Amino acid sequence: MDIDILLILQEFRNGAGACLTDFMTKMSFIGEMNTVLIIIALIYWCVSREFGQYLLMGWSGNRVVNGLLKVTACVYRPWIRDVRIVPDSDALAAATGYSFPSGHSMNAASLYGGGAIRKELPKVLRIVLGAIVVLIAFSRNFLGVHTPQDILVGAGAGLLVMWLTSKLIAWADKNPGKDILVMCVGIAASVAVAVFAAVKSYPMDYDAAGNLLVDGAKMANDTYKGVGWCVGFLTGWILEKRYVKFSTDIPLTTRITRLTIGLLSYYAVSLVLLPLVKSWIPGAGGTIAYCFIQMFYVTFIFPLCIKHFEHAPALSK
């Protein structure tokens, strides 16, 4: 039935023209991993440190959960399961790893859904954020890269993780010093997921020509990314809380400065430094190190820099 639904959507997509497909492609784009991480980083640096911490923790946890579920279920992408499925060509670039559950849906649930479940936000904004989650999840079906099961489980699991994250942060705030326990348990769980992904066996199915359909070891790459991001967040979170404690109660000009410098420095780290790290450290270790540094920069290094440089009288207030 899931393939039948995708075939119906595929026929509709082919007949609807480029306008609707372009819209769905854009909705899918704002649910991509790096897009979501950048948006959350800007919220953390420039809008609300506390809300940003909640989003970063929830998103990092969701990436580990998504990676664990993917390498456990090992569900092939729709076009591998049925050759009648022809995904949108632009969507294929971000369709990495196994299919179940949808990473885009979990990303959407982390950022937009994470805001939608926060009762302190205006009701209209929460409704809009909830609608964005639905549109991003549906776009993955419309573009032919995920089944309905993929997006439903992805969005549901993502929202559950965000709800648990809000409870965990509230508990840590009420119990000073327990955040170290949260960090240790989170890192231990992340490492366990990485080991599981590295040592488990994967399906070895071949096509009629004798070619391996899917290399499970390569599909585990998304899992290693999630582990790196989660460990990077937990480490940076503790260090920032202990030694930085930067503020987002700042003038508009300072917010704009942070946003500009933050974006430029983030891309400098991601496009220059991190490829070097991956070239020095091959395989899964390089992927984990790459994502650890990326998240550690977002969570601790850049806040440390802005706390130091904003001591200047012209920026302090």
What positions carry a catalytic annotation? 104, 146
Give one word for 203, left, alpha or beta, with left for phi > 0 and alpha for psi -120 to 50.
Answer: beta
How far apart (Å, rounded) are the C-alpha atoms in residues 277 and 281?
6
Q: How far apart are the first and last CA of the chain?
A: 60
How far apart (Å, rounded) are the C-alpha atoms in residues 97 and 56?
22
> Residue type at 108?
A
Q: Which of 282, 297, 229, 296 is nearest to 33 (CA)?
A: 229
Residue 144 near residue 9 (C-beta atoms within 8 A): yes
Q: What is the DSSP letter of 147?
A: -
The per-type count for the chain, helices as H runs and strands as E runs, is 15, 0
What count of Cα atoms within 13 Å lies in the side-chain half-sphere of residue 9? Answer: 25
